[in-house]
Amino acid sequence: MIQKEFAIQATHILEKEPEVIGFAVGGSWLTNELDEFSDLDLILVTSERISGNKDKMLTYAQKLGTLLNGFTGEHVGEPRVLICLYDKPLLHVDIKFLTLDELTGRVETPHILLDKNDQLKQAFENSKAHFPYPDYQWIEDRFWIWVHYVLLKIGRGEYMEAVDFFGFMRMTVFGPLLHIKNGNQPRGVRKVETELTTVDFEGLKSTIPEYSRESTLEALENAIRLYKNLRSALFTEEVTLRSSTEQRVMDYFTEIAG
């Protein structure tokens, strides 16, 4: 497996670096789901902070293999990650640059590849991983306004923007809630093809419209139905439903669809 070969080679290189405290790997490695299409999620722990200095991040990345290109992950809210593409073999590798103190705030406990003086082990033993789950109230507060927004775009004939917004809702609302319903971690739409029931996956697929007025309206109707079903299945009585907003937006849906 090229990912494991790369990680082992990188470990041998990094153990000679004096500023490196430890090196670890997460993601698909932890669940034994690595395949030929997997990327590699690496965590590099140094004595001094490297993140924030792209040149230093790239210098470390270049030591690990034939680096084609790399950029920092601000677009996914994680500037401490350097997203890399290596050659020989062609491999996508994400390298997160952390200090020892930053290991405590994590979504998973990675597998340790290198641990000078057992400092990573101690940090993991003294803290817990916490995967973030969606706030149901946050979603309910926004959902019907998002529906109204899509209706505005459909009404104006801006179907491309409407189609794009469905993708946002799948990633932000439907994917996570369907994963929770199926007993999975709410990782957007990751592996929905294999980790959802057939019925739930078909429900998610029904929110993918074609580029037309009829199709976007139908997908929006399906999206609303899916959300209300998920809301009934997952939300507790502590979540305040925005019923007045829902009713007024649904009236507008009837107006636009009519």
Query: pLDDT digit string (tens) for 186-203?
Result: 999 999 999 999 999 999
Q: Could you tell me the residue range of the domain that residue 48 belongs to?
A: 2-125
Q: Give the DSSP letter of residue 36.
A: T
Is the pLDDT at 105 greater than 90? The verdict is: no
Domain boundary among the residues 94, 125, 156 is at 125
Domain boundary among the residues 125, 156, 191 is at 125
Could you read off the pLDDT of 28-56 as tens digits, one per residue? 999 888 999 999 999 999 999 999 999 99
Longest C-alpha distance within the chain, in Å?
70
Domain contains 208 = yes
Contact 256, 151 (CB under 8 A): yes
Residue 231: pLDDT band with limits 50, 70, 90: very high
Whether 66 and 13 share a structural domain:
yes
Split into its structural domains, the chain has a count of: 2
Residue 102: the pLDDT is: 93
CATH number reported for the structural domain that contains residue 179 in this entry: 1.20.120.330
Domain contains 245 = yes
Domain contains 110 = yes
CATH number reported for the structural domain that contains residue 77 in this entry: 3.30.460.10
Domain contains 163 = yes
Residue 242: the pLDDT is: 98
Whether 149 and 209 share a structural domain:
yes
Residue 104: the pLDDT is: 86
Which secondary-structure segment (H or E) carries 205? helix 198-205
Domain contains 130 = no
Residue 138: pLDDT band with limits 50, 70, 90: very high
Domain contains 7 = yes
Residue 12: the pLDDT is: 97
- Report the chain's mean pLDDT, rounded to a whole number: 96
Task: Report helix, strand or coil for 67.
Answer: strand
